[in-house]
Every structure is written in structure tokens, then in C-alpha cells.
Amino acid sequence: MQLSINTLSYTNNSSEMLEYHKKVYDKFEIPVNYTIANVRHGHFMDHVMRNVDADIFLFIDSDCVILDRSILDDCLEYVIENDSFIGPAQATNHIPPKSHIFAAPAFLMITKSCYQKLGSPSCLETARSDCAQELSYIAEEKAKRYRCIYPTMFDTIPLEGVWRLGNYGYYGIGTLFGDRIYHLYQGRVGVNVELFKKRCNQILSGSFDKSEMHSSIAEFNGKVVD
């Protein structure tokens, strides 16, 4: 089956971040198609899934890297066996009900046939959805099973407060999902770019250090986004 792997990076994104992103995926011999453009993320995903000839699509954010190749292989096995999709768990705290957990587009893999069975919905934001959240909503409405990969820990607390993940726990800047996917978030902030470079270097050298990260499921007593 043909897999199409795609990353969108905006023209004003950090060139260093993109350089390190490429280094990590090159290390694991994963061929990523990079698009440098100022288009809405949802439009980009729609265009790829509706126009690229592939059986499976994987979308990777430009600030999202993996710790080892096994996560790619495990995601492939899941979506092929279940004709479904899989991605990091996320809850959009600025869109009611704020507690809906969905498979986020940071590392989203989906079969083309699943996408078509869902009605080929747009990944654009709606009144109830963040980017690509409609896929999860529609799958739930059609009783189609999909999988979310939950966070285990995160590096730092965003300025606005740590983010809630439904009734599960919390996530923040530099979140580790399933211990194998690392999503920075807020890469526009300079200090976060340095954090991303540090983490990528650790991945490249096989020395990723979790010792000072916050647990995503521990009780949190600091500022939390409501």
C-alpha cells in the first residue's frame, strides 16, 4: 500500500526547526514531502487527501518528531487492520464543549478508504471543531472506531496555563504522546525553538531525557486553562 507523508511549514516558520525536523526523519529513513506555503492547515490536508494518489496519508506538523521508527510501523498496522485513523489525543480548550478528545493532525494517519467512508469531510475548522477534529466527530456519529495516542508527560507550562485534556489530564509545551511522539506546540516562540532543537539533538543521539518532565496524569496545582 502506498503511503504519502506530508508536512506543511509556513514561510515565516523557523528555518532551524525545519532543518532539525528533517534531520530526525532522515535518521529514521522516513521520506517526508515538505510544502512551504502560507495556506490554512485544513486546506492543505484537504488538497492532499483529495488529489494525491495514495492508500494511506500521514500528516506531521513541522514541530512534531518521533523518538523511534516503531511508532510509524505501529500506526500503519492499526490503520490498515482497522481501515481507520490514529493521532495524538487533543482537546480544543477554546471551542465548546472544550472536553471533546480527538485525533489531532500533529501526527495523523488515515487510510484513503476510511476518509471516503466518512464522506471525505473537510479538515477546516468549524463552529464545533479545530483543524481535522471533524474526522473524529463524524467517525463517532457513524460509530466508526479510531484511536488516540495519549500524552504521558510534557516539558513546560504555556504562559496561559497548562491545557486540560478532557477528563484524562494535562498537556503543554513539548508534550510526549505514548512516549514516542514529541509535539512542541507554539514554535513561534523563540525559547520553544531552542527547546525543539535540544529535543531533536537528544533524539538524534539516542539520549532523550524525561527526568524533568511533568506527568500528564499527576494532580496539577498550577494555572490551568478553563
CATH number for the domain spanning 207: value is 3.90.550
Q: Does the residue 28 lie in any domain? A: yes
Q: Does the residue 85 lie in any domain? A: yes
| Nearest 10 degrees: Cα torsion 131, 135, 137, 142 | 170
Q: Residue 103 and residue 49: Cα distance in Å, rounded? A: 16
**Tell me, what's the pLDDT at 94?**
86
Q: Does the residue 82 lie in any domain? A: yes
pLDDT digits over 183-209, tens only? 999 887 778 999 999 999 999 999 999
Task: Say if residue 19 is exposed, middle or buried (CB neighbours under 10 Å; 0-12, 13-18, 19+).
Answer: exposed
pLDDT digits over 4-41, tens only? 999 999 999 999 999 999 999 999 999 999 999 999 99
**Tell me, what's the pLDDT at 93?**
85
pLDDT digits over 87-125, tens only? 999 999 889 999 999 999 999 999 999 999 999 999 999
Residue 226's pLDDT band (cuts 50, 70, 90): low
Q: Does the residue 225 lie in any domain? A: no
- pTM (two decimals): 0.96
Q: Does the residue 30 lie in any domain? A: yes
Q: Does the residue 97 lie in any domain? A: yes
The number of distinct structural domains making up the chain is 1
- Where residue 203 falls (left for φ over 0; alpha for ψ -120 to 50; beta otherwise) is alpha
Q: Does the residue 93 lie in any domain? A: yes
Q: Does the residue 220 lie in any domain? A: no
Instruction: Note down the domain range covering 168.
Output: 3-215
